[in-house]
Amino acid sequence: MSVKPARENWWGETWAVFLKDVRSEMRTPSAVATILLFGLVTLVTVSFLVRVEGQGLTELGLIENYVEVLQADPNARILGTVPEGTPTRHAVLAGLLWIILFFSAMAGLPRTFLKEEEMRTAPALRLTALPSAVFAGKLLFNVGLMLTVVSVIFPLYLFMLHPWIKNWPLFVGYLVAGSLGMAGSTTIVGAMVARAGGRTYLMLPLAFPILLPILVFAINGTAAASRGIPGNYLIPLVSYVVAMVTLSALLFDYVWSDR
């Protein structure tokens, strides 16, 4: 394969950085593997929290109103921690979904930049590509990574946890917006972690406060969407993400470049 000269236009450069990352990921899938394994392990772990014991699964699967069931039979609670179709279950499952996605994102998203530092390819990238193109390319890659993970984890979540979603379009909207937000607002943090000598333990404390508003909106939003009740968390979520991505794009050069 011939080595092509660096492209002149910004979009071309961004796309080249993105494609380079995708190719490298296909060769040694370190980020996808990390993030998927983390997601799976977390998913299975939290499943035990809401699992309905033994025969209770089929018996309680039809229950719409938790309170009435409890009034009729005070012992109903012992059959399962959070019976299906109840508001409690919607809220708990919404929280668990974002816990799964959050922890897998924390494990996988800094890999993009860590890889560059570990393979010692970062100086070459610094010389050949514009910092903003690097940021945009890595951002695209992280978004793609999150969407891949969501497309694997979400079906498993549906099959294993039975969330009983009422408003599908809105639910999927929150899912996509939330994953984009997580990828978008932690891309710069991943770069900082890589530049801080690859100390991966920094990722969680640095990213968590920035992501917490996104998590609050996304958890409330998915809970409302799966219950089918109104509650507009999508606009603040998207505005927050747009603001964070803009801010990161403005500041990225200072993290990335050696001066």
Partner 1 sequence: MNSQTKKPNAGGVALWKWLLLPLMGSVAVLSYTWAGALPEFQSPETARIIFWHVPHAILSMIWFFTAGFFSLRLLKNGDLKDDTRAEKAAEVGLVLTVLATITGAVFSKMQWAGGLNSPWYEGYWQWDPKQTAILIVILIFFAYFGLRSSVDEAHRRARLCAVYAVIGAVLVPVLYYTLPHLPIFSSVHPTKVISTREGMSPEYRTVFWMSTLGFLGFSLWSYQMQVRFAFVAERILARRENAGAEVRVEAVRRPVTES
Give, as ranges, the residues between 132 and 191 that touch partner 1 (CB under 8 A).
Answer: 188
Binding of residue 74 to partner 1 (CB under 8 A): no
3-class DSSP state of 52: strand
CB atoms within 10 A of CB 70: 15
**Beta carbon of residue 201, minimum distance to partner 1 (angstroms, whole number):** 8
Helix 168-195 / helix 131-161 crossing angle, nearest 10 deg: 130
Q: Which stretch binds partner 1 (CB under 8 A): 26-34, 89-97, 136-144, 244-252?
A: 244-252
**Beta carbon of residue 184, minimum distance to partner 1 (angstroms, whole number):** 13
Contact 21, 138 (CB under 8 A): yes
Whole-angstrom distance, CA of residue 146 vs CA of residue 143: 5
Give, as ranges, the residues between 180 and 239 that touch partner 1 (CB under 8 A).
Answer: 188, 192, 195-197, 199, 202, 205-206, 208-210, 212-213, 216, 220, 231-233, 236
By beta-carbon proximity to partner 1, the closer residue of 228 and 236 is 236
Whole-angstrom distance, CA of residue 6 vs CA of residue 12: 9
Binding of residue 254 to partner 1 (CB under 8 A): yes
By beta-carbon proximity to partner 1, the closer residue of 213 and 228 is 213
The size of the interface with partner 1 (CB under 8 A), counted in residues, is 29
Dihedral of the CA atoms 137, 142, 148, 150 (nearest 10)?
-150
By beta-carbon proximity to partner 1, the closer residue of 43 and 188 is 188
**Beta carbon of residue 120, minimum distance to partner 1 (angstroms, whole number):** 17
CB atoms within 10 A of CB 152: 17
What is the separation of C-alpha 66 from the centre of its chain, rounded to a whole number of angstroms?
Answer: 31
By beta-carbon proximity to partner 1, the closer residue of 54 and 198 is 198
Nearest to 32 by CA among 137, 100, 108, 115: 108
Binding of residue 113 to partner 1 (CB under 8 A): no
Nearest to 82 by CA among 95, 73, 91: 91
**What does the binding site for partner 1 look like in residue numbers (CB under 8 A)?**
188, 192, 195-197, 199, 202, 205-206, 208-210, 212-213, 216, 220, 231-233, 236, 240, 243-244, 247-248, 251, 254-255, 259
